[in-house]
Amino acid sequence: MFLLCSLCRLVNRTLYQVCPRRMINTSSLQFKDFEDGAFIPHYAILSHTWGAGEIGYQSTALVFFEREIMYKQRQGTKTKPAYHKIVEACMQAYSDGLEYLWIDTCCINQEDQTDVHRNVKNMYSYYRNSRICYAYLADKHNRQGVAESGFGQSRWFTRGWTLQELLAPPEVIFFNSYWGDIGTRTKLCAEISSVTGIPEDIVRGSTSFRDVDVQERMSWSVLRKTTRSVDRAYCLFGILGVFIEPDYTEDLVTAITRLQEAFFERYPEKHSEFAGDGVDLLKMLTRRSHRARYN
């Protein structure tokens, strides 16, 4: 019995370390903060591209948020896009039987650097340990099928952070701007592979991307952009399987250099993949993939 209890505590601690500390309750629409060692229930997670007027974490955010919902219900009016995105994601998670949802825009306190750094370092694990990921394509308005919707031309496929958000979760469901179901990652793996240059077996998850050589993994990221240049390094944490302390005062070269040092320390056997042609992570990141075809 003692061994079983110890094992349970270990599992709970492990879940706590790699799952979000703050999420939205999908029924009450209130933040829920989980304490150290608390059991983390199954949760959904949102993958999206940031737009104007995103809702950040602040003491009055959800108070105003609730007022918006009440007004919408009484008047039948549309909420602001950022609120609408949160509401619809919560509704989808609730309908899927999931009590909690994590969204980066409002669940991270951008004014607290400790909170920012912790979430950036653990973000890959958040997606990996989620029950389901909803990929919201805000620029896809067509209610018809994948071919007609221009699925592969979505801005979502051009962003740095969405690479690990595509590959880490157990499954991804894509939604258009009306929250119409476009399809799952599994169902759309051929289209996704064509757009991203990532092999279909990797997209499906039948083969781990960690089994792919570093240069190919890096090629998936070369055309992707981030708002802050240094995030081009930080968004690779999960893809490379190493983590460094984020520092938003450094430049991209410094961040990539630190990331490469951490990578070789963690995987010394990978030196051979860099030998011979003088290639390093920075050069890999600036090379154009021969497989990806999006603009």
Question: How many structural domains comprise the chain?
Answer: 1
Strand 31-33 and strand 22-25: the pairing is antiparallel
pLDDT category at 83 given cuts 50, 70, 90 is: confident
Helix (H), strand (E) at residue 102: strand 100-102
Does 26 reside within a domain? yes
Tell me: pLDDT of 160 over 90.
yes
Average pLDDT, the chain: 83
Residue 263: name the closest of 286, 236, 288, 289 by CA: 236
* Phi, psi (degrees; rounded to nearest 5) at 134: -105, 115
- pLDDT > 90: percent of the chain: 61
Does 203 reside within a domain? yes
Identify the DSSP state of 140.
Answer: -
Does 81 reside within a domain? yes
Arithmetic mean of pLDDT, 169-179: 95
Higher pLDDT, 28 or 244: 244
Arithmetic mean of pLDDT, 149-156: 87
Does 136 reside within a domain? yes
Does 83 reside within a domain? yes
Structural domain boundaries, residue 54: 2-209
Distance CA 186, CA 30 (A): 32
Task: Count CA within 13 A, CB hemisphere, residue 272.
Answer: 2
Does 268 reside within a domain? no
Does 172 reside within a domain? yes
Does 79 reside within a domain? yes
pLDDT category at 37 given cuts 50, 70, 90 is: confident
